[in-house]
């Protein structure tokens, strides 16, 4: 059991509104952690704190700390561009760039200054394979990514994150815009990615959380109510609010 990210007494304000009210949460390496809770409870806000995506929103104040491998990512020394490569993000709506499939996945490598075509070819192929979309796209790598189905686009977006060799992948409801078959493929893929990466995923699907995650954190109104191994959360929750939420009484 190794810690990879740890938040301590993390508070976040949008203007005067406190959206995170002191979150203490430690995420583990090579695990998939899911964040659950009703709409507006702060799941996406917390996820965005982990790679400083909230820095981009005007009027945000953040107190407390987030350690990645023991280093405070909010320290003034932090290289935020590098942090976002190390801790990559996948969004609810697939958001490929309006380029070819190949160029989408090569994007981060080109940004890093990689010029060797053979190296780029190899990483593009490997990343698309890991994202379980290689067979779908190998004969049309130079066609626009926008011509793919939503599920294929989402897997290309995951390949784009994998290509820069992150340690952690954040996913905000990555399958909620997709059909059940694409969702199943992505769940299977995320399950295998755990071997080499640490994953944090927001989901509204209790089924999805219990199928593929190791640990589950339940948020309510800016508080972390309960955090434990997924089976314990679903079979024997300690808090009444958790039980009510997972049994569908609210949210
Ligand atoms: N950019 C923003 N500016 C102001 N308030 C915001 C902003 N983003 C989120 N909030 C508020 O912060 C609270 C937490 O929002 P957040 O998006 O983190 O919730 P969530 O748990 O991800 O909800 P959902 O399940 O609907 O995605 C909500 O009250 C929301 O209205
Ligand atoms: Mg959200």
Q: What digits encode the pLDDT tens for the residues 178-198? A: 999 999 999 999 999 999 999
Return the pLDDT at 12: 98
Return the pLDDT at 248: 87
For a substitution probing ligand 1, which of 13, 38, 45, 46 has the most ligand atoms within 8 Å of its CB? 45
Return the pLDDT at 213: 98
Burial (Cβ within 10 Å: 0-12, 13-18, ≥19) of residue 60? middle
For a substitution probing ligand 1, which of 16, 23, 37, 43 has the most ligand atoms within 8 Å of its CB? 43
Distance from C-alpha of 115 to C-alpha of 218, rounded to nearest angstrom: 44
Q: What is the DSSP letter of 67?
A: E
Flag residues of the chain having pLDDT under 50: none
Distance from C-alpha of 102 to C-alpha of 133, rounded to nearest angstrom: 12
> H helices of the chain, where?
43-49, 80-86, 101-111, 117-130, 134-137, 150-162, 180-193, 206-212, 230-235, 240-246
Return the pLDDT at 1: 62
For ligand 1, whether the C-beta of 235 sits within 6 Å is no
Return the ligand number nearest the Cα of 41. Answer: 1
Closest CA to 156 of 203, 189, 181: 189
For ligand 1, whether the C-beta of 44 sits within 6 Å is yes
pLDDT tens digits for range 210-227 = 999 999 999 999 999 999
Return the ligand number nearest the Cα of 21. Answer: 1
Please state the atom number of ligand 1 nearest to the C-alpha of residue 35. Answer: 21
Closest CA to 5 of 225, 215, 192: 215
- Ligand 2: centre distance to CA 200 (Å): 13
- Ligand 2: centre distance to CA 41 (Å): 8
Please state the atom number of ligand 1 nearest to the C-alpha of residue 41. Answer: 21
For a substitution probing ligand 1, which of 18, 37, 41 has the most ligand atoms within 8 Å of its CB? 41
Return the pLDDT at 195: 94
Which residue lies with its CA nearest to atom 17 of ligand 1?
Answer: 44
Return the pLDDT at 72: 97
The pTM assigned to this predicted structure is 0.96
């Amino acid at each position: 059991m190794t810690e990879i990210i740890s938040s301590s007494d993390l508070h976040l304000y949008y203007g005067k509104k406190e959206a995170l009210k002191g979150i203490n949460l430690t995420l583990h390496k090579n695990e998939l952690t899911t964040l659950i809770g009703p709409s507006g409870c702060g799941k996406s806000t917390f996820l965005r704190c982990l790679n400083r995506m909230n820095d981009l929103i005007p009027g945000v104040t953040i107190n407390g700390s987030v350690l990645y491998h023991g280093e405070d990512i909010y320290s003034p020394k932090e290289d935020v561009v590098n942090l976002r490569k190390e801790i990559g993000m996948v969004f609810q709506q697939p958001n490929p760039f309006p380029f070819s499939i190949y160029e989408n996945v090569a994007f981060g490598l080109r940004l890093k200054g990689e010029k060797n075509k053979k190296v780029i070819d190899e990483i593009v192929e490997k990343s698309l394979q890991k994202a379980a979309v290689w067979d779908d796209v190998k004969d049309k790598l130079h066609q626009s990514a926008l011509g793919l189905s939503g599920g294929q686009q989402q897997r290309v977006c995951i390949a784009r994150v994998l290509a820069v060799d992150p340690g952690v992948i954040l996913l905000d409801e990555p399958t909620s815009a997709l059909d059940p078959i694409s969702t199943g493929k992505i769940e299977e893929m995320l399950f295998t990615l755990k071997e080499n990466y640490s994953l944090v995923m927001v989901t509204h699907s209790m089924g999805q959380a219990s199928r593929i995650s190791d640990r589950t954190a339940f948020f309510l109104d800016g508080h972390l109510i309960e955090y434990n191994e997924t089976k314990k959360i679903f079979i024997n929750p300690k808090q009444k609010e958790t039980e009510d939420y997972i049994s569908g009484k609210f949210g």
